[in-house]
Structure 1
């Protein structure tokens, strides 16, 4: 597989290097061939032809998406946790479905972000009550769920365009206090202080048709069922309406028709010319001739133009990088598409911060990027420490440098969010076979989104790779743990752990924040410039 990736990569690079035309024109023609992106209808209608509706140009404030469907009867599902707790036969009755607005054009080959995830659970969940759950998801990282269970939002809670986040509906376990007959008759003659509130049941019933409408407001989504407002969900940083290019309906439901109206008539935001800000101020400085405290290698995919641009505009503008105390570079393998490689080459030549690796990008070969980071930090620089991170990782460079100094006990350093006694998964999407990893447990390793090794460990890795004695494993962070463990067998290493190298999302006062979209990067940078290391996950 690696040999194929190298040979294909060399051919792809030769093709990109030989291209003498205008990269923008090549990209525009390829985009036009791939999809008829210029057509932006103001309305879309689909009748019972599937559960996916493509919204070519996304949504805008004032857009409506209406789903006409019928929930199915509940079915029995086995829950292993209940079986282990010996609660009955371990099965429960389930009836639920999901309505999602997804960003289908985010990045090819990746899970699309869920800009809105609406999950009605008709038979309830662990709460034992029917639930409407709302959430967002970016690169398989879910945010904090907003759950509506029939209890109305507090009057003091923030509203969304003036609407409460959760409306009230009838619950069997809550009995409203009733007026006495005497009080009721008196109020008829005197006049009521306010109109009596109406009470409604849970808006979805098994085998009963419903009409669900999602309205895109100014501050968030508004959910209506049968014309009645049920919930509102505020927009979250990092997600925009124009990115919502697909509607998915799945689960225990039969879809009859879907209508989308008041859609935008144009969609300029998918233009790569708007993503790549070819401004002089974002270009990198030449490599310094003097030693640096930290070299940061950023793993990036070839088509992650927006992610790289967000990093350039945010934490790569820190004083430590501007003064060359720290240096950052992107490490990018090639794409199978010519137009992407041509644009990548142009981007690298202009900004001067990309190291292009001549092989076709594959998950199994990410470990080669990590080795390339070590080689670059050893051979092109004199770096006291080397950090590896991803292009969706926001790094507080000054804090990482400070933490390195605090842990500098004179020994080689391995610092990050460390895992101990982790076992390989033998089943599922991320399964590892016995041939790939025969041992029962992994060595101690730091999570891949952000970790630091000292320069002497990097030199060891480079020398071991040069004499072909370096063991390679497809999970690059586990590989690094394996290499450090081998180095530690002859030279004691100081292992330094901190949860603030965040693996999933963001924590207050983080060192690094992971799974941050380009807009979340800008949000974090704005907060950091105001002196607050706080997150942009949700309001």
Structure 2
């Protein structure tokens, strides 16, 4: 894999093969649009070994555990920046349904970070990881550092510049975090480097209670179990309500040029 306009990385693991099969038989059943490359990204590779690309599966030397998703995402972005000449990366979860044609048609020119942008919700974000960690010692309230906004982790875009900024942080930064999407948002909100442009795509995502909404222009739906993903494909892919012309996300979606972070940054 040498180049792609858009690289889609689907975060998955060996335990989630049913989800992977659902993706392969629904929104990824047909070849991706021109200029789009798709990889299934999993961990549990040999510790200390380099990442391995086996077909469309990228195997990273990072344990697959919820609490280590910041490390896994960092390793994926680091590999992508070094090995793929792409303009943007779309990171999504394996229980997300992508309207891949719509995602490919979004004009992200000049945008570095785009998704459903949200501020950290007090009383929720601190314990979001509870009940999900393999190592329960991680299940203590997360006290930051927090960005002012972060793109929810089930589907978001980063530019090559933004991915490089995440890839460049070291373990002292990664180890402060347990929530992958907050980690990425915080890396992109830190001072230093050229300003990054963020865009809110909340009106192009159908999530949680709105997951079944027939909303034109939607590029992602979340969360969906394997049988629900098949039903979503039957409802939406065959009728095509999400199809839309190429549209720039710059305009009323843009939040600002400069992000800001708060919390306890590593010295």
What TM-score comes out, normalization by structure 2 length? 0.72
The DSSP-based 3-state class of the residue aligned with 1:383 is: strand
Alignment map for 1:70-149 (pairs within 5 Å): none
Say whether residues 1:328 and 2:34 are aligned partners. no
Larger radius of gyration: 1
Cα distance 1:381–1:488, how it changes in 2: closer, same or farther (>3 A)? same
> Match for 2:224 among 488, 507, 516?
516
Q: Which residue of 1 aligns with 2:258?
A: none
Q: Which residue of 2 aligns with 1:397?
A: 100
Flag structure 2 segments of 5+ consecutive residues without an equivalent.
46-51, 131-138, 243-267
Deviation at 1:362, TM superposition (A): 1.7
Q: Which residue of 2 aligns with 1:12?
A: none
Say whether residues 1:499 and 2:203 are aligned partners. yes
Say whether residues 1:419 and 2:125 are aligned partners. no
Deviation at 1:522, TM superposition (A): 2.4
Q: Which residue of 1 aligns with 2:185?
A: 481
What TM-score comes out, normalization by structure 1 length? 0.38
Alignment map for 1:440-451 (pairs within 5 Å): 442-451=147-156
The DSSP-based 3-state class of the residue aligned with 2:43 is: strand
The DSSP-based 3-state class of the residue aligned with 1:384 is: strand
Alignment map for 1:88-237 (pairs within 5 Å): none
Q: Which residue of 2 aligns with 1:306?
A: 18
1:83-114: CA deviation from partner (whole Å, max 9, x where unpaired): xxxxxxxxxxxxxxxxxxxxxxxxxxxxxxxx
Flag structure 1 segments of 5+ consecutive residues without an equivalent.
1-286, 336-344, 535-539
Cα distance 1:447–1:426, how it changes in 2: closer, same or farther (>3 A)? closer
Q: Distance in 2 between matches of 1:366 and 1:327?
A: 22
Cα distance 1:456–1:518, how it changes in 2: closer, same or farther (>3 A)? same
Given that 1:413 and 1:453 are in contact with CA atoms closer than 8 Å, whether structure 2 keeps it comes out as yes
> Match for 1:381 among 60, 65, 84?
84
Given that 1:460 and 1:487 are in contact with CA atoms closer than 8 Å, whether structure 2 keeps it comes out as no
1:289-320: CA deviation from partner (whole Å, max 9, x where unpaired): 3x31111111112121111112112222345x
1:319-358: CA deviation from partner (whole Å, max 9, x where unpaired): 5x264x11111111239xxxxxxxxx9xx85xx2212223
Deviation at 1:381, TM superposition (A): 0.9
Q: Which residue of 1 aligns with 2:169?
A: 464
Cα distance 1:486–1:426, how it changes in 2: closer, same or farther (>3 A)? closer
The DSSP-based 3-state class of the residue aligned with 2:61 is: strand
Deviation at 1:398, TM superposition (A): 1.7
- Greater relative CO (CA pairs within 8 A, separation 6+): 2
Q: Which residue of 2 aligns with 1:354?
A: 57
Deviation at 1:377, TM superposition (A): 2.1
